Amino acid sequence: AQKITQTQPGMFVQEKEAVTLDCTYDTSDQSYGLFWYKQPSSGEMIFLIYQGSYDEQNATEGRYSLNFQKARKSANLVISASQLGDSAMYFCAMRATGTASKLTFGTGTRLQVTL
Amino acid sequence: GAVVSQHPSRVICKSGTSVKIECRSLDFQATTMFWYRQFPKQSLMLMATSNEGSKATYEQGVEKDKFLINHASLTLSTLTVTSAHPEDSSFYICSARTVNTIYFGEGSWLTVV
């Protein structure tokens, strides 16, 4: 069974600063994928970034980067130069091999960007 | 733009009635789609896997007769909440996989009164 743990229920960051959202995972699979999604108050789930377990380099997408430490089983999301529009819930999720596209989600972190 | 479209975004129905939510993949075929439910301030919980041309696979504890899933084409999956009760009020959201990643629909807020 897979498990995703997000230990930060809420985070505050000042505008233009960088913030790291923590995510650890547990799986016995060798091949898996890690995702981060942003959920604003409207409810939609916005895909941010993906990291495959065999990817040697950390994934980056614009202001988002994923700090992937396989040995520690962590996949932290780093948001650089925070903007007010970044305020939302952020979910870490994992897809394991053989589960097609079934995702296991963490409990989420609510990020609040302040002036 | 959106690659997965969900409709309706908000629906209010009376207790005892049924309501259908549609999930469409735009510009790509999705043999498998997923339906999730999210309670306020909680994470997404997988309800079922929708398989094109075959029966859906339900997660443990999800009533298949209550939540009917039909995946009649490669671009459309529907979730029908039958005989809805107020406790079925929730946020329902679907997902589908493209070549590169997994996208979600916009979600549907269901309120049963």
Q: What's the mean per-residue pLDDT of chain B?
A: 93
The pLDDT of residue B40 is 87
| Cα dist from A28 to A36, B8, B13, whole Å | 20, 39, 43
Query: Is residue B87's pLDDT more than 70?
Result: yes
Whether A44 and B106 lie within 8 Å, measured CB to CB: yes
The pLDDT of residue A98 is 67
Q: pLDDT under 50 in chain A at which residues?
A: none
- Shortest CA gap B104–chain A (Å): 6
The pLDDT of residue A100 is 63
Whether A105 and B91 lie within 8 Å, measured CB to CB: no
Query: Is residue B55's pLDDT more than 70?
Result: yes
Q: Which helix (H) or strand (E) holds B108?
A: strand B108-112
Residue B93: list chain A partners with CB under 8 A.
43-45
Which distant-in-sequence residues (6+ apart) come within 8 Å of B66 by Cβ? B81, B82, B83, B88
The pLDDT of residue A50 is 94
Query: Which residue from A42, A91, A100 is facing B43, i.e. has the nearest CB?
Result: A91
Interface test with B, best of A32, A34, A45, A50 (most B CBs within 10 A): A45
- Write down the H helix ranges in A1-115: none
Residues of B with a Cβ under 8 Å from any A Cβ are 32, 34, 38, 42-46, 49, 91, 93, 95-97, 100-107, 109
Q: Binning pLDDT at 50, 70 and 90, where does residue B98 land?
A: confident
The pLDDT of residue A20 is 98
Query: Is residue B63's pLDDT more than 90?
Result: yes
* Distance separating alpha carbons of residues A94 and B7, to the nearest angstrom: 26
Which distant-in-sequence residues (6+ apart) come within 8 Å of B69 by Cβ? B35, B48, B50, B56, B77, B78, B79, B80
How many other CB atoms sit within 10 Å of the CB of residue A65? 19
Q: Binning pLDDT at 50, 70 and 90, where does residue B100 land?
A: confident
Instruction: Report the first-to-last Cα separation within chain A, whole angstroms.
Output: 41
Whether A108 and B43 lie within 8 Å, measured CB to CB: yes
Query: Is residue B109's pLDDT more than 80?
Result: yes
The pLDDT of residue B105 is 94
B4: DSSP letter = E
